[in-house]
Structure 1
């Protein structure tokens, strides 16, 4: 059984794979100060609740964009599972794709893993939209090469900045506006329209510009927590793959084992 760990800026996601399928997944807020022992107390209890013996875990792979978190996840793997973890992008878990940008080493592990997973699942040129702490747009060509992308503020970051820098605007939830009107009749509606439909306009505009620059038909694959919400708008995406990063880690782990 494979334990895949994806440490992002907001959450660390743990997923158990069996026979190539996700058996269980859990998430915890990212905190670089959290020790391997603290991860173990939390994770081992969750395994017990699901009736899963920790000894069934025989492989671990870690991807992180938070360097300080890696040591403690390594301690968790070695001390509580007796396993030397694979690290995405390193050694036997190398991405094995061409990262065709000015500074290949600066590419975040999550984006590289997404490129691996998307190329494994789809043919042709791809645009991957990942809704995380930041919203990223990545171009992957028909050969699986990573060609570059865009980094935009995540929608929750944008909302936090709006509310945090104004005296009278309330906190609102990100959701699909109930009214079809884009002229709000109260403060909350006006904020939701601005944030939600403004974000949709950004997504549409950037995808259109990327497709024009690619110059060939490109499938748009969305992932991340808010992908399902924005998929309700219409035909923004050709596919929504909520577990794309985790599936990419599973691909790397399988390649390392072969």
Structure 2
């Protein structure tokens, strides 16, 4: 089985992959100072709880948008899984990056493109809800054409609460009803954050579709996608494990 590691700005996701199927997954807060020894103590206990063992892992593939975290993750693979890890993006990507600065594309977004094009035909838009919310356009040939980076919903709320001393910190969740006229401060904040974010998603996707000019399939992914999937019809599919699937595909192609 494969250990897939996706190190994001907020969390590092560890997943045990059986082919392209996620057998188990866990999250830990991203901390570049965390050592390989610390990782393995935490991970070994979780593997045991799932009836797995470190010896079951035959390969390690890593994606990171936090360069300082990479060394310790590589050490984890080498020291405790006897594996020379495959690092996503090293040596280039197996896809066409039709943008001005291809080297600046985050590994997670490139992996989403690979997995999305593998699963769906035609033009695609992938909306990934994480620390930032990203919108990526893939054409029918599998080429990455560009996209959008917007503040994630948690960042938006943090900025609002930090800048306005009298506003309370609220939970990010759908309001109790669909009214967009709040009767108190908490309701008004929930409407502004939640329905405002839904309106941004729908508006940006509509503009992207119009610019593509052909039928487009829209996918949602990322840890926060569950907040929105039941409250908008803009998504054709929700693929919670798109980045992990991309890592599994990358591993497959490297070991054909």
Same fold by TM-score, threshold 0.5 exceeded?
yes
Measured on the aligned residues, the alpha-carbon RMSD in Å equals: 0.9
What displacement does 1:111 show? Answer: 0.3
Alignment-derived partner of residue 34 in structure 1: 34
Tell me the distance in 2 between the aligned counterparts of 1:82 and 1:226. Answer: 34
Tell me the distance in 2 between the aligned counterparts of 1:240 and 1:25. Answer: 18
Equivalent residues in 2 for 1:122-201 (5 A)?
Answer: 122-201=120-199
Runs of 4+ in 1 over 2 A off after TM superposition: none
Alignment-derived partner of residue 200 in structure 2: 202
1:218 to 202, 216, 229: 216
Tell me the distance in 2 between the aligned counterparts of 1:72 and 1:142. Answer: 38
Aligned to 1:34, the other structure's residue is in SS state coil
Deviations 1:141-188, CA, capped at 9 Å, x for gaps: 001100000000000000000011111111111111112210000110
Normalised TM-score (structure 2)? 0.98
Aligned to 1:119, the other structure's residue is in SS state helix
Whether 1:74 and 2:74 are equivalent positions in the alignment is yes
Equivalent residues in 2 for 1:95-106 (5 A)?
Answer: 95-106=93-104
What displacement does 1:40 show? Answer: 1.1
Tell me the distance in 2 between the aligned counterparts of 1:20 and 1:134. Answer: 26
Equivalent residues in 2 for 1:58-97 (5 A)?
Answer: 58-91=58-91, 94-97=92-95
Tell me the distance in 1 between the aligned counterparts of 2:4 and 2:179. Answer: 43
What displacement does 1:47 show? Answer: 1.1
Alignment-derived partner of residue 245 in structure 1: 243
Q: Is the 8 A contact 1:114 1:245 kept in 2?
A: yes
Aligned to 1:136, the other structure's residue is in SS state strand
What displacement does 1:50 show? Answer: 1.9
What displacement does 1:71 show? Answer: 0.3
Q: Is the 8 A contact 1:95 1:113 kept in 2?
A: no
Q: Is the 8 A contact 1:12 1:29 kept in 2?
A: yes
Tell me the distance in 1 between the aligned counterparts of 2:202 and 2:50. Answer: 41
Aligned to 1:231, the other structure's residue is in SS state coil
1:115 to 109, 113, 118: 113
Tell me the distance in 2 between the aligned counterparts of 1:242 and 1:173. Answer: 22
Q: Is the 8 A contact 1:136 1:151 kept in 2?
A: yes
Q: Is the 8 A contact 2:219 2:236 kept in 1?
A: yes
Alignment-derived partner of residue 54 in structure 2: 54
Q: Is the 8 A contact 2:19 2:248 kept in 1?
A: no
Tell me the distance in 1 between the aligned counterparts of 2:116 and 2:235. Answer: 13
Aligned to 1:60, the other structure's residue is in SS state strand
Normalised TM-score (structure 1)? 0.97
